[in-house]
Amino acid sequence: MENLISKNHLEEIIIASFKKAYQLKDTENFKNDNQRRSSKFVYEVSRHIYDKWFSKCDYTLHLQEVDDSGKKSSGEWLFDMCITSGRTITDDRWRIKSHAPINTEIVFNMESEFSTGLKDLAQDLGKLLASKSNVSLYIQGLNQIVKKYREEFIDNRISILKEQLIDDIQNEFYIAFCPSPVKETNQSLWDTYDMAELLSWIKVFQIKGNL
């Protein structure tokens, strides 16, 4: 299923997920809680990816769920989101056998970082580069109000990947840029700009490394 993933499909999913999270931003548990807003966005992206490409196969989704009321439940494993395949191992030394599922392959993983700092990029991006996932997606937040500076930031992050890390990209790798719900002059960007404006910020790129 993973070989059907494309940049355009991912962009459609990210746009739809942003719309859903943005529409909930003023409801009780999301209002004034930017961390919860970003968690909901990440959940929606992850859920859409799993449902579109992996749900009909024997894969497991590892993800912190965030429902429409803002309630969270545990579920992460190693990454913000990953999809794995595996099998069951047993211990038959006793009369009642023990069974446990074990993950043996990561088929898709994702990290997100809504800070624009280089150290934050290195920490989360490094998790993806060090893994052996078939497909990886890194979501990078944007907080640059001026379009020129936003484009310069995107160009900088792409150049880091292509010029400094290209030999470390051993899989099908995507990076997406999305509006961060961080505060700007004491107010979240999501509360300052309308949806149409923020949707125009979303960009997705495929970085072709050494497959």
Q: Which tens digit of pLDDT belongs to each residue from 37-94? A: 999 999 999 999 999 999 999 999 999 999 999 999 988 999 999 999 999 999 988 8
Torsion angle of the four alpha carbons 117, 120, 122, 127, in this order, in degrees rounded to the nearest 10: -150
Number of other residues whose CB lies within 10 A of the CB of residue 56 = 9
pLDDT score of 210: 72
Contact 106, 131 (CB under 8 A): yes
* Residue 147 structure tokens: 């379009």
d(CA 171, CA 104): 17
Chain position carrying tokens 């960007």: 189
Structural domain tally of the chain? 1
Please, which residues bridge with residue 180 across strands?
A: none
Mean of pLDDT values over 153-179: 97
Judge contact between 45 and 51, C-beta under 8 A.
no
Q: Which residues pair with 113 in a beta bridge?
A: 140
Q: What is the pTM of this model?
A: 0.94
Q: Is the pLDDT of residue 137 over 60?
A: yes
Q: Are 69 and 206 in contact (CB under 8 A)?
A: no
Spatial separation of the C-alpha atoms in residues 207 and 205, rounded to whole Å: 6
CB contact at 8 A, 154 and 147: no
Please give the backbone phi and psi of residue 177, each rounded to the nearest 5 degrees, phi first: -110, 130
Q: Give the range of the structural domain holding residue 129, as residue numbers without chain letter.
A: 2-208
Contact at 8 Å (CB) between 64 and 77?
no
Q: What is the mean pLDDT of the chain?
A: 94
Does position 96 have pLDDT exceeding 90, yes or no? no
